[in-house]
Amino acid sequence: MYRESSSNQWNSDSQLVKLLDQGVDELYVEFYIRFSDNWWHRANYANYASKMFRIGHWDGVRDLFNGALGGLGPLVFWDYKRDQYGMSNFLSFRGGPGDEGNNYYLNGEYPDYVSLGYGYFTLEEAPGGTDPLVVNQVEGGYLKDIGRYDPITHEQVFGTTEHWTKLGFYVRMNSAIGAADGIFRMWVNDQRIVNREKIPFVQPNTDNAMLKWNYIAIGGNDNFFPYPADQLFEDWYAIDNIVVRSDMPVNLGVSDTLGDVAPTPPSDLVVE
């Protein structure tokens, strides 16, 4: 996926969408990601963000690529962001159905945006209230040990351009309309860094509809404009080895991990 700077707005970009034949109450997705050597945030920081991954519900009627038309929700986004406070694990939660004022806000006990980090804010988020052991890709040791007020860099989380980082995401729909018991979890290299268990994904609605997760998408639009349009800048990120399943792997990060081997280029590619 290429990211281009142009103007001060959320510019449209491509999405790779997978529609699920049947909606599910639970969904687990994992993939590997790496970034170009000229990725702007390696050497710079600013209040820019790029949508990179989402899980959601689509009504099957309105535009799948336009969240303002009411056909989408609930939704969970994972955004890339590095600002003056360092790398931000920027998550967005939108309630559903999307056509009843829930498409941009969750009206229950959970905020619509959660900006977390990859270090201090992951403490006690691993199973059993333990700390995740996400390796610092620059100095060694673990990201959790970086001071709360010390900015974490892109390289400390994602490493060099050759390094593939494994990400995992799990969602479970709330048990009833308005119930604040939906779940979201996230892993970095099989270490759980986010655990939230009180999310009211499906909000009260006139049809009393209980919704399911029925699509995922890679990519999205960007708020990214470090240079004027006449000095167009372009960088990229790559995602590979995508796994989608309707339940969470047993002992994730211990013994039952899925894509344990990082992606490799094809060995038999021929250009004629």
pTM of the model as a whole: 0.92
Q: Is the residue at 254 inside a domain?
A: no
Residues 6+ apart with CB under 8 A from 216: 17, 18, 20, 27, 29, 53, 54, 55, 56, 244
In this predicted structure, what is the pLDDT of residue 270? 72
Tokens representing 102 are: 């829930």
Q: Is the residue at 173 inside a domain?
A: yes
For residue 166, give its domain range: 2-245
Q: Is the residue at 259 inside a domain?
A: no
Q: Is the residue at 37 inside a domain?
A: yes
Region of poorest pLDDT, from 124-138, 198-212, 243-257: 243-257
Q: Is the residue at 182 inside a domain?
A: yes
For residues 224 and 3, the answer to whether their CB atoms sit within 8 Å is yes
In this predicted structure, what is the pLDDT of residue 75? 94
DSSP 8-state code for residue 158 = H
Mean pLDDT confidence for 240-258:
76
Report the percent of the chain where pLDDT is more than 90.
65
Region of poorest pLDDT, from 8-22, 126-140, 247-261: 247-261
Domain containing residue 99: CATH number: 2.60.120.200
Higher per-residue confidence, 192 vs 260? 192
First to last CA, the chain: 25
Q: Is the residue at 250 inside a domain?
A: no
How many domains, the chain?
1
| pLDDT exceeds cutoff 80 at 27 | yes
Mean pLDDT confidence for 223-246:
89
Q: Is the residue at 125 inside a domain?
A: yes
| Reported confidence tier of residue 43, pLDDT bands at 50, 70, 90 | very high
Q: Is the residue at 119 inside a domain?
A: yes
Residues 6+ apart with CB under 8 A from 38: 235
